[in-house]
Amino acid sequence: MKISQLGELEFITRIRHQCSVSAASVLGIGDDCAIFPCQTEHEDGLITTDLLIESVHFSTGTGMWELGHKALEVNISDIAAMGGTPLYATISVAVHADIPVIDMQAFYRGLIDTAHRHEITIVGGDTSQSPGPLFISITILGRVEKGRALLRSGAQAGDLIGLTGTLGDSFVGHKWLLSGLKDQDLTSDSSPEFLEAIKFCTERHCYPRARVKAGRALQSSGKCHACIDLSDGLATDLRHIVCESNVGAEIDLDLIPIDIRTERLARVLALDPMLAATTGGEDYELLFMIPPEAKKEMMKLLSGLGETITFIGRITSDKENIAFHKSGQPFDFNLSGYEHFSRP
Protein backbone atom coordinates (compact mmCIF):
# COMPACT_ATOMS: atom_id res chain seq x y z
CA MET A 1 0.00 0.00 0.00
CA LYS A 2 1.23 3.48 -0.89
CA ILE A 3 0.94 6.39 1.51
CA SER A 4 -1.38 8.17 -0.93
CA GLN A 5 -3.82 5.28 -0.49
CA LEU A 6 -3.48 5.35 3.29
CA GLY A 7 -4.04 9.08 3.77
CA GLU A 8 -2.58 11.53 6.26
CA LEU A 9 -4.92 10.85 9.18
CA GLU A 10 -4.48 7.08 9.08
CA PHE A 11 -0.72 7.53 8.66
CA ILE A 12 -0.61 9.65 11.83
CA THR A 13 -2.75 7.07 13.65
CA ARG A 14 -0.27 4.33 12.80
CA ILE A 15 2.69 6.43 13.94
CA ARG A 16 0.83 7.20 17.15
CA HIS A 17 0.39 3.50 17.88
CA GLN A 18 4.10 2.89 17.27
CA CYS A 19 5.23 5.68 19.58
CA SER A 20 4.76 4.65 23.18
CA VAL A 21 4.33 7.51 25.66
CA SER A 22 6.78 7.33 28.54
CA ALA A 23 5.80 7.91 32.14
CA ALA A 24 7.70 11.20 32.00
CA SER A 25 5.25 12.74 29.52
CA VAL A 26 1.72 13.96 30.15
CA LEU A 27 0.31 13.88 26.62
CA GLY A 28 1.92 12.64 23.42
CA ILE A 29 0.76 12.49 19.79
CA GLY A 30 -2.87 13.41 19.12
CA ASP A 31 -3.39 17.06 20.02
CA ASP A 32 -2.22 20.50 18.89
CA CYS A 33 0.76 20.23 21.25
CA ALA A 34 2.43 17.56 23.33
CA ILE A 35 2.46 18.21 27.08
CA PHE A 36 5.40 17.47 29.36
CA PRO A 37 5.99 18.11 33.07
CA CYS A 38 7.95 21.18 34.16
CA GLN A 39 10.23 21.64 37.15
CA THR A 40 7.64 23.87 38.77
CA GLU A 41 4.66 22.16 40.35
CA HIS A 42 2.25 24.76 38.98
CA GLU A 43 2.91 24.46 35.22
CA ASP A 44 3.05 21.98 32.36
CA GLY A 45 5.25 22.47 29.33
CA LEU A 46 3.90 22.59 25.76
CA ILE A 47 5.81 21.69 22.62
CA THR A 48 4.72 21.81 18.98
CA THR A 49 6.49 21.62 15.63
CA ASP A 50 5.53 22.37 12.04
CA LEU A 51 7.18 21.70 8.69
CA LEU A 52 6.58 24.03 5.75
CA ILE A 53 7.73 23.17 2.24
CA GLU A 54 7.86 25.44 -0.79
CA SER A 55 5.16 24.59 -3.38
CA VAL A 56 3.30 22.53 -0.76
CA HIS A 57 2.58 25.04 2.01
CA PHE A 58 3.52 28.27 0.28
CA SER A 59 4.11 29.45 -3.28
CA THR A 60 7.40 30.49 -4.85
CA GLY A 61 6.30 34.12 -5.10
CA THR A 62 5.52 34.55 -1.40
CA GLY A 63 7.25 37.59 0.12
CA MET A 64 10.05 36.49 2.45
CA TRP A 65 9.10 38.75 5.37
CA GLU A 66 5.52 37.51 5.06
CA LEU A 67 6.76 33.92 4.97
CA GLY A 68 8.78 34.39 8.15
CA HIS A 69 5.79 35.95 9.90
CA LYS A 70 3.36 33.25 8.80
CA ALA A 71 5.70 30.34 9.53
CA LEU A 72 5.98 31.38 13.17
CA GLU A 73 2.42 32.62 13.63
CA VAL A 74 0.78 29.36 12.53
CA ASN A 75 2.97 27.46 14.99
CA ILE A 76 2.00 29.83 17.79
CA SER A 77 -1.62 29.04 16.93
CA ASP A 78 -1.10 25.49 18.24
CA ILE A 79 -0.05 26.90 21.62
CA ALA A 80 -3.12 29.16 21.56
CA ALA A 81 -5.38 26.15 20.95
CA MET A 82 -4.09 24.57 24.17
CA GLY A 83 -4.75 27.75 26.15
CA GLY A 84 -1.02 28.26 26.69
CA THR A 85 1.60 30.97 26.49
CA PRO A 86 4.40 30.63 23.88
CA LEU A 87 7.93 31.11 25.23
CA TYR A 88 10.77 29.84 23.03
CA ALA A 89 11.28 28.85 19.40
CA THR A 90 13.87 27.06 17.29
CA ILE A 91 14.06 27.67 13.55
CA SER A 92 15.53 25.18 11.08
CA VAL A 93 15.79 25.88 7.36
CA ALA A 94 17.09 24.06 4.30
CA VAL A 95 17.75 26.44 1.40
CA HIS A 96 19.16 26.25 -2.11
CA ALA A 97 22.74 27.54 -2.25
CA ASP A 98 21.80 30.18 -4.84
CA ILE A 99 19.07 31.88 -2.78
CA PRO A 100 19.89 35.61 -2.31
CA VAL A 101 21.14 36.53 1.15
CA ILE A 102 18.78 39.50 1.20
CA ASP A 103 15.82 37.11 0.89
CA MET A 104 16.89 35.10 3.92
CA GLN A 105 17.50 38.28 5.89
CA ALA A 106 13.93 39.37 5.11
CA PHE A 107 12.66 35.93 6.14
CA TYR A 108 14.37 36.17 9.52
CA ARG A 109 13.14 39.75 10.01
CA GLY A 110 9.60 38.41 9.63
CA LEU A 111 10.32 35.70 12.18
CA ILE A 112 11.95 38.08 14.64
CA ASP A 113 9.26 40.77 14.35
CA THR A 114 6.57 38.19 15.03
CA ALA A 115 8.53 36.68 17.91
CA HIS A 116 8.90 40.10 19.53
CA ARG A 117 5.16 40.77 19.25
CA HIS A 118 4.44 37.54 21.13
CA GLU A 119 7.40 37.97 23.53
CA ILE A 120 8.98 34.75 22.21
CA THR A 121 12.73 34.18 22.34
CA ILE A 122 14.34 32.43 19.35
CA VAL A 123 16.91 30.18 21.01
CA GLY A 124 18.40 28.12 18.17
CA GLY A 125 17.77 25.89 15.19
CA ASP A 126 19.68 24.47 12.25
CA THR A 127 20.57 25.30 8.65
CA SER A 128 21.20 22.99 5.72
CA GLN A 129 21.43 23.03 1.96
CA SER A 130 18.37 21.93 0.00
CA PRO A 131 18.66 20.44 -3.49
CA GLY A 132 15.55 22.32 -4.52
CA PRO A 133 12.64 23.77 -2.53
CA LEU A 134 12.89 25.78 0.68
CA PHE A 135 12.16 23.75 3.83
CA ILE A 136 11.22 25.40 7.14
CA SER A 137 10.83 23.55 10.44
CA ILE A 138 9.81 25.46 13.57
CA THR A 139 9.46 24.15 17.10
CA ILE A 140 7.85 26.22 19.85
CA LEU A 141 7.92 25.64 23.59
CA GLY A 142 5.24 27.12 25.83
CA ARG A 143 3.61 26.70 29.19
CA VAL A 144 0.14 26.27 30.67
CA GLU A 145 -1.26 25.87 34.16
CA LYS A 146 -0.71 22.33 35.40
CA GLY A 147 -3.42 19.90 34.33
CA ARG A 148 -5.47 22.64 32.68
CA ALA A 149 -4.43 22.57 29.03
CA LEU A 150 -7.31 22.68 26.53
CA LEU A 151 -7.46 19.32 24.77
CA ARG A 152 -9.28 17.87 21.77
CA SER A 153 -10.54 15.01 23.91
CA GLY A 154 -12.80 16.79 26.40
CA ALA A 155 -15.93 17.57 24.36
CA GLN A 156 -19.17 16.37 25.96
CA ALA A 157 -22.62 15.66 24.54
CA GLY A 158 -24.73 18.81 24.86
CA ASP A 159 -21.79 21.22 24.55
CA LEU A 160 -22.18 24.23 22.28
CA ILE A 161 -19.69 24.53 19.42
CA GLY A 162 -18.27 28.03 19.17
CA LEU A 163 -15.60 29.70 17.09
CA THR A 164 -13.76 32.97 16.85
CA GLY A 165 -13.76 35.20 13.79
CA THR A 166 -14.91 34.33 10.28
CA LEU A 167 -14.10 31.41 7.99
CA GLY A 168 -13.02 31.07 4.38
CA ASP A 169 -11.17 34.40 4.14
CA SER A 170 -7.69 32.90 3.85
CA PHE A 171 -8.73 30.27 1.32
CA VAL A 172 -10.37 32.84 -0.96
CA GLY A 173 -7.40 35.17 -0.56
CA HIS A 174 -5.05 32.34 -1.52
CA LYS A 175 -7.12 31.56 -4.62
CA TRP A 176 -6.99 35.22 -5.63
CA LEU A 177 -3.19 35.24 -5.34
CA LEU A 178 -2.94 32.03 -7.37
CA SER A 179 -5.27 33.39 -10.06
CA GLY A 180 -2.70 35.90 -11.25
CA LEU A 181 -5.47 38.48 -11.59
CA LYS A 182 -5.13 42.08 -10.52
CA ASP A 183 -7.96 44.39 -9.59
CA GLN A 184 -7.43 46.45 -12.74
CA ASP A 185 -7.99 43.30 -14.83
CA LEU A 186 -11.64 43.20 -13.73
CA THR A 187 -13.47 46.06 -15.33
CA SER A 188 -16.81 44.68 -14.11
CA ASP A 189 -16.07 45.50 -10.48
CA SER A 190 -13.38 47.97 -9.51
CA SER A 191 -15.36 49.57 -6.69
CA PRO A 192 -13.75 50.49 -3.36
CA GLU A 193 -15.73 47.62 -1.82
CA PHE A 194 -14.16 45.14 -4.21
CA LEU A 195 -10.65 46.46 -3.59
CA GLU A 196 -11.29 46.17 0.13
CA ALA A 197 -12.39 42.54 -0.38
CA ILE A 198 -9.09 41.75 -2.10
CA LYS A 199 -7.09 43.46 0.64
CA PHE A 200 -9.02 41.75 3.44
CA CYS A 201 -8.80 38.21 2.06
CA THR A 202 -5.17 38.36 0.94
CA GLU A 203 -4.09 39.81 4.28
CA ARG A 204 -5.98 37.06 6.11
CA HIS A 205 -3.97 34.56 4.08
CA CYS A 206 -0.56 36.21 4.27
CA TYR A 207 -0.76 37.62 7.80
CA PRO A 208 -2.64 35.13 10.03
CA ARG A 209 -2.93 36.00 13.72
CA ALA A 210 -2.84 33.31 16.39
CA ARG A 211 -5.63 33.78 18.94
CA VAL A 212 -3.38 33.52 21.99
CA LYS A 213 -5.41 35.89 24.19
CA ALA A 214 -8.65 34.10 23.30
CA GLY A 215 -7.08 30.73 24.08
CA ARG A 216 -5.81 32.01 27.41
CA ALA A 217 -9.26 33.39 28.24
CA LEU A 218 -10.97 30.09 27.40
CA GLN A 219 -8.44 28.19 29.48
CA SER A 220 -8.57 30.49 32.49
CA SER A 221 -12.38 30.43 32.54
CA GLY A 222 -12.39 26.75 33.44
CA LYS A 223 -15.53 26.37 31.31
CA CYS A 224 -14.01 25.22 28.00
CA HIS A 225 -14.20 21.45 27.51
CA ALA A 226 -12.25 21.16 24.23
CA CYS A 227 -10.46 23.35 21.70
CA ILE A 228 -8.58 23.18 18.40
CA ASP A 229 -7.24 25.73 15.95
CA LEU A 230 -8.67 25.67 12.44
CA SER A 231 -5.70 24.95 10.19
CA ASP A 232 -7.00 22.24 7.85
CA GLY A 233 -10.60 23.45 7.60
CA LEU A 234 -13.67 23.20 9.82
CA ALA A 235 -14.72 19.80 8.48
CA THR A 236 -11.36 18.13 9.12
CA ASP A 237 -10.53 19.83 12.40
CA LEU A 238 -13.98 19.18 13.89
CA ARG A 239 -13.47 15.51 13.03
CA HIS A 240 -10.32 15.55 15.17
CA ILE A 241 -12.47 16.71 18.09
CA VAL A 242 -15.22 14.13 17.69
CA CYS A 243 -12.75 11.28 17.21
CA GLU A 244 -10.60 12.22 20.19
CA SER A 245 -13.64 12.88 22.41
CA ASN A 246 -15.64 9.89 21.13
CA VAL A 247 -18.68 12.06 20.47
CA GLY A 248 -20.60 13.40 17.46
CA ALA A 249 -21.55 16.87 16.27
CA GLU A 250 -24.35 18.77 14.54
CA ILE A 251 -23.47 21.88 12.54
CA ASP A 252 -25.97 24.46 11.26
CA LEU A 253 -24.43 25.73 8.04
CA ASP A 254 -26.67 28.80 8.11
CA LEU A 255 -24.76 29.96 11.21
CA ILE A 256 -21.26 29.71 9.71
CA PRO A 257 -19.77 33.24 9.87
CA ILE A 258 -18.64 34.38 6.41
CA ASP A 259 -17.48 37.96 5.90
CA ILE A 260 -19.29 39.88 3.16
CA ARG A 261 -15.90 40.75 1.64
CA THR A 262 -15.06 37.07 1.34
CA GLU A 263 -18.41 36.38 -0.31
CA ARG A 264 -17.81 39.21 -2.79
CA LEU A 265 -14.35 37.97 -3.83
CA ALA A 266 -15.47 34.33 -3.90
CA ARG A 267 -18.17 35.20 -6.44
CA VAL A 268 -15.61 36.80 -8.75
CA LEU A 269 -13.47 33.66 -8.53
CA ALA A 270 -16.47 31.37 -9.07
CA LEU A 271 -15.98 29.81 -5.63
CA ASP A 272 -18.68 28.59 -3.25
CA PRO A 273 -18.23 30.71 -0.09
CA MET A 274 -19.69 27.94 2.09
CA LEU A 275 -17.25 25.36 0.77
CA ALA A 276 -14.42 27.84 1.32
CA ALA A 277 -15.58 28.37 4.91
CA THR A 278 -16.00 24.70 5.76
CA THR A 279 -13.10 23.06 3.90
CA GLY A 280 -10.68 25.83 2.92
CA GLY A 281 -8.34 25.80 5.90
CA GLU A 282 -5.68 28.21 7.17
CA ASP A 283 -8.19 30.29 9.13
CA TYR A 284 -6.31 29.80 12.42
CA GLU A 285 -9.43 30.66 14.38
CA LEU A 286 -10.26 28.71 17.54
CA LEU A 287 -13.04 26.11 17.54
CA PHE A 288 -14.15 25.37 21.09
CA MET A 289 -16.78 23.50 23.09
CA ILE A 290 -18.50 24.85 26.22
CA PRO A 291 -21.61 23.89 28.24
CA PRO A 292 -24.74 25.88 27.27
CA GLU A 293 -24.90 27.65 30.62
CA ALA A 294 -21.48 29.22 29.97
CA LYS A 295 -22.50 30.86 26.67
CA LYS A 296 -23.21 34.37 27.96
CA GLU A 297 -20.08 34.40 30.11
CA MET A 298 -17.86 33.30 27.23
CA MET A 299 -19.36 35.80 24.81
CA LYS A 300 -18.79 38.62 27.28
CA LEU A 301 -15.27 37.44 28.10
CA LEU A 302 -14.11 37.03 24.50
CA SER A 303 -15.89 40.08 23.10
CA GLY A 304 -14.03 42.06 25.74
CA LEU A 305 -10.84 40.98 23.97
CA GLY A 306 -12.18 42.21 20.63
CA GLU A 307 -13.08 38.72 19.41
CA THR A 308 -16.21 37.99 17.38
CA ILE A 309 -17.83 34.77 18.64
CA THR A 310 -20.35 32.58 16.80
CA PHE A 311 -22.00 29.37 17.97
CA ILE A 312 -22.59 27.05 15.04
CA GLY A 313 -23.82 23.79 16.51
CA ARG A 314 -23.63 21.31 19.35
CA ILE A 315 -21.89 18.14 20.40
CA THR A 316 -23.99 14.96 20.30
CA SER A 317 -23.63 11.42 21.63
CA ASP A 318 -23.66 10.02 18.05
CA LYS A 319 -20.06 8.81 18.19
CA GLU A 320 -17.71 10.15 15.52
CA ASN A 321 -20.59 11.29 13.29
CA ILE A 322 -20.84 14.87 12.07
CA ALA A 323 -24.24 15.94 10.73
CA PHE A 324 -24.55 19.13 8.67
CA HIS A 325 -27.88 20.95 8.35
CA LYS A 326 -29.01 23.82 6.15
CA SER A 327 -32.38 25.54 6.42
CA GLY A 328 -33.32 22.97 9.03
CA GLN A 329 -32.74 20.02 6.70
CA PRO A 330 -29.90 17.46 6.51
CA PHE A 331 -27.33 18.61 3.99
CA ASP A 332 -24.88 16.14 2.46
CA PHE A 333 -21.87 18.25 1.62
CA ASN A 334 -19.43 15.34 1.57
CA LEU A 335 -17.19 17.81 3.34
CA SER A 336 -13.50 17.25 3.95
CA GLY A 337 -10.72 19.71 4.60
CA TYR A 338 -7.10 19.67 3.52
CA GLU A 339 -5.22 16.40 3.89
CA HIS A 340 -1.63 15.66 2.91
CA PHE A 341 -0.98 12.68 0.63
CA SER A 342 -4.53 12.79 -0.82
CA ARG A 343 -4.99 12.75 -4.59
CA PRO A 344 -7.79 14.34 -6.64
Which residue type is seen at 201?
A: C
Q: What is the DSSP letter of 27?
A: B
Q: Is position 232 annotated in a ligand binding site?
A: yes
What is residue 326's three-state secondary structure?
Answer: strand
Q: How many C-alpha atoms does 225 have within 13 Å on its Cβ side?
A: 24
Q: Is position 108 annotated in a ligand binding site?
A: yes
Q: Is position 57 annotated in a ligand binding site?
A: yes
Q: Of the candidates 61, 54, 280, which has an alpha carbon nearest to the alpha carbon of residue 180?
A: 61
Displacement of CA 91 from its chain's centroid (Å): 19
Q: Rounded to whole angstroms, how far apart are CA atoms 119 and 150?
A: 21
What is residue 36's three-state secondary structure?
Answer: strand
Q: Rounded to whole angstroms, how far apart are CA atoms 25 and 36?
A: 5
Q: Is position 88 annotated in a ligand binding site?
A: no
Q: Is position 342 annotated in a ligand binding site?
A: no
Q: Is position 78 annotated in a ligand binding site?
A: yes
Q: Is position 44 annotated in a ligand binding site?
A: no
Q: What are phi and psi of 209, to 5 degrees?
A: -125, 120
Q: Is position 187 annotated in a ligand binding site?
A: no
Q: Of the candidates 149, 49, 68, 144, which has an alpha carbon nearest to the alpha carbon of residue 110?
A: 68
Q: Is position 262 annotated in a ligand binding site?
A: no
Which residue type is seen at 41?
A: E
Q: Is position 185 annotated in a ligand binding site?
A: no
Q: Is position 332 annotated in a ligand binding site?
A: no
Q: Is position 126 annotated in a ligand binding site?
A: yes
Q: Is position 231 annotated in a ligand binding site?
A: yes
Give the annotated binding-site residues for Mg(2+).
Answer: 32, 48-50, 78, 126, 229, 232
Give the annotated binding-site residues for ATP.
Answer: 108, 125-126, 152, 231
Give the annotated binding-site residues.
Answer: 32, 48-50, 57, 78, 108, 125-126, 152, 229, 231-232, 282, 338
Give the annotated binding-site residues for substrate.
Answer: 57, 282, 338
